[in-house]
Structure 1
Amino acid sequence: MSFSHLKPKITTILSNDHETSEQRMKEVCELLQTSVGYYDWVGFYFANEAEKTLHLKAFAGEPTDHTVIPFGKGICGQVAISNKNFVVADVKAQDNYIACSITVKAEIVIPLFKDGKNIGQIDIDSHLEDPFSEVDERFLEWVNSEVAEIL
C-alpha cells in the first residue's frame, strides 16, 4: 500500500496551531484508522519515566481498558524498553501480550523519539493476521517524526 496520499493530510492536521497537540494526535489516529483498512485501532502512548509507565493520550477505535501500561508489559511496554519497532504478525503467538479484544490478530508498535529519546509510541491493532509490512514501519516512523515536531 502507498501511504503518500495520507502524508499531506497528516501534515495539515499537525500544522493546525489552533488545536492542542493531543487533539491533533487524535485526528491523526482517526485519519489512519478510517483510511487504512487493516488499522482497526490506532493510539499514541507516552512515557512517564518516573513511574515507568505508558499513558494513552489519543486514540481512534474501540475504547480500551489499557490506558496505563507498565514498562516491559505487553508489546507497548516492551517497546518502551527496547526502543525498537515491534511487529507482531499473530498476537496469539506472543507470551507477553496484553489482550485488548478477541478480534485483535496483529499489532505494530513504533517508538516515538524526541531529541533522541523514546518518549512514547504509536500502537496499531489489526483484526487481520500478518497485515503489516516494512512499508507500514517506514510510514509510521515518518508519522512519529512529524508528531514529535509538535511536542
Structure 2
Amino acid sequence: MFNVEMYQGKKEKNYELVQKQLFALIEDEPNQIANLSNAAALLNQFLVEINWVGFYLLEEGQLVLGPFQGLPACVRIPMGKGVCGTSAATKKTLRVDDVHQFPGHIACDAASRSEIVIPLMKEGKLIGVLDIDSPITNRFDEVDQQGLEKFADILTKRL
C-alpha cells in the first residue's frame, strides 16, 4: 500500500541530498555561468517527470534565457508576462498546476502542462528566476516548492 507520508519524507531527504550536491559543486567556483549550468544539469538529473529546467536572468528590465536543460526556449520574457515574468515581477514563487489555465502563459514547449518558477533573490534584489516545466499536470507540490526554494537560496549565494 502506498504511504504518502513515507513518500513525502523520502522526497524531503532527496531534496536535502541535491542541495548538498549543489553546494559541493559551486562552493569554490565564482563563475556565474558555470554554477548556473551545473545547477540546471543537477536538477535535470534529479527531478523526474520534467521536460525543461533552467534559468532566466534579469537584464535591462527583462528576463533573458540563461543556462538550461531541455528543448530550445524563449529567449526574452518581459516582466509581468507569462509564469516567469509574473514570478519575477511579484518576487514570489509560482506553482501552476495547469499552464493552459494561466492567463498569458507563454508556450515555449507545447508538451509542458505544469510549471514552477522560483525568483532568484540576492541581497534583496531580483537577479533572475529558476523555471521548471513538466509534461504532466499537478507535478509540483509544497515539498517541491520548499526544496527548490532552498536550492535557489544556496545557488544565489554564489552568483
TM over 0.5: yes
**SS of residue in 2 equivalent to 1:4:** helix
Identify, as 1 or 2, the structure richer in helix: 2
What one-letter code is carried by the residue in structure 2 that aligns with 1:9? Q
Q: Identify which of 144, 148, 157 aligns with 1:149.
A: 157
State how far apart, in whole Å, the 2-side matches of 1:32 and 1:95 are: 27
What one-letter code is carried by the residue in structure 2 that aligns with 1:26? S
Alignment check: 8 A CA contact 1:88 1:130 kept? yes
Query: Whose relative contact order is higher, 1 or 2, with alpha carbons under 8 Å and at least 6 apart?
Result: 2
Say yes or no: does 1:36 pair with 2:44.
Answer: no
Give 1:5 shift.
2.1
| Structure 2, gaps ≥5 residues long | 1-10
What one-letter code is carried by the residue in structure 1 that aligns with 2:26? L
Alignment check: 8 A CA contact 1:16 1:24 kept? no
Aligned residue number for residue 61 of structure 2: 52
Alignment check: 8 A CA contact 1:112 1:119 kept? yes
Say yes or no: does 1:61 pair with 2:67.
Answer: no
Aligned residue number for residue 93 of structure 2: 85
Q: TM-score, normalised by structure 2?
A: 0.87
Q: TM-score, normalised by structure 1?
A: 0.91
| Structure 1, gaps ≥5 residues long | none
Percent identity between the two aligned chains: 34
